[in-house]
């Protein structure tokens, strides 16, 4: 299946390339980037994740796109932004999640909000979805602010313990944000200035 590419004013969300593997492994090994994940990833674990992302993209034509800043020459790979089906067992949360993981030098520039806005627009207009979700640990204030800029809302009763994170791990508890298509249409996202 041909994969969709998305473009914004400063970003291109595209299929992955072999050259993305090294910077992706570096960001996955960075303890600051991975602070709200169970652990950093080895090069092998990072490559396995990239393989899964590429397979899913080939199967569906959309997914966790490689994100690049188009202002540089050559364009800089900054991480991923995109959509991913939730696949918990048991299914605590069902649907499609919007998510991102960007390398530390690219934080604070509005790239996550800009790219996620394009992904959510694609989800509602092209895929015809009625709802998008996003989740993180409560302490991940940066990602929570992106979710809120997208117009996503949280209800405390939707929060849950992540089944793939062991009990006792401080990031096991997760907050869940939701966004419906009707809310998206009536309240556009707040892009950073």
pLDDT score for 71: 84
pLDDT at 76: 85
User: Tokens in use for 28?
Assistant: 């996955």
Q: Rounded to an integer, what distance in angstroms lies between the CA atom of residue 147 and that of residue 143?
A: 6
pTM: 0.92
Q: Which residue has the higher pLDDT, 89 or 60?
A: 60
Beta-bridge partners for 144: none
Q: 20: which 2 tokens?
A: 């993305």
Strands 64-69 and 76-85, by their bridges, are antiparallel
Q: The tokens of 2 are what? A: 């041909």
Q: What confidence tens digit (pLDDT) does each residue in 36-57 have?
A: 999 999 999 999 999 999 999 9
Alpha-carbon distance of 123 to 6, in angstroms, equals: 12
What is the reported pLDDT for 72? 74
Listed by start position, the domains of the chain span 6-186
pLDDT of residue 15: 96
Residue 95, pLDDT score: 86
- Give per-residue pLDDT as tens, 108-129: 999 999 999 999 999 999 999 9
pLDDT at 187: 67
Architecture of domain 6-186: 3-Layer(aba) Sandwich (3.40)
Span 154-182, average pLDDT: 91
- Yes or no: say if 63 and 127 are a contact pair by the CB < 8 Å rule: no
Q: How many CB atoms lie within 10 A of CB 125?
A: 12
Cis-peptide, bond into residue 124, ω within 30° of zero: no
Dist CA 11 CA 113 (whole Å):
11
């Amino acid at each position: 299946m041909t994969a969709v590419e998305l473009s914004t004013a400063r970003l291109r969300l595209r299929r992955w390339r072999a050259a993305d593997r090294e910077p992706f492994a570096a960001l996955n090994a960075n303890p600051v980037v991975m602070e709200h994940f169970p652990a950093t990833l080895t090069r092998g674990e990072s490559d396995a994740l990239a393989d899964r992302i590429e397979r899913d993209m080939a199967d569906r034509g959309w997914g966790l796109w490689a994100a690049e800043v188009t202002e540089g020459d050559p364009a800089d790979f900054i991480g991923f932004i995109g959509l991913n089906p939730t696949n918990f067992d048991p299914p605590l949360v069902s649907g499609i999640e919007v998510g991102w993981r960007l390398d530390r030098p690219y934080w604070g520039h509005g790239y996550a909000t800009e790219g996620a806005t394009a992904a959510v627009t694609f989800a509602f207009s092209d895929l015809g979805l009625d709802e998008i979700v996003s989740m993180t640990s409560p302490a991940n204030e940066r990602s929570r602010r992106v979710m809120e800029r997208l117009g996503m809302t949280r209800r405390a009763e939707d929060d849950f313990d992540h089944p793939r994170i062991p009990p006792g791990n401080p990031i096991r508890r997760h907050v869940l944000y939701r966004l419906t298509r009707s809310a998206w249409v009536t309240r556009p996202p707040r892009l950073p200035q």
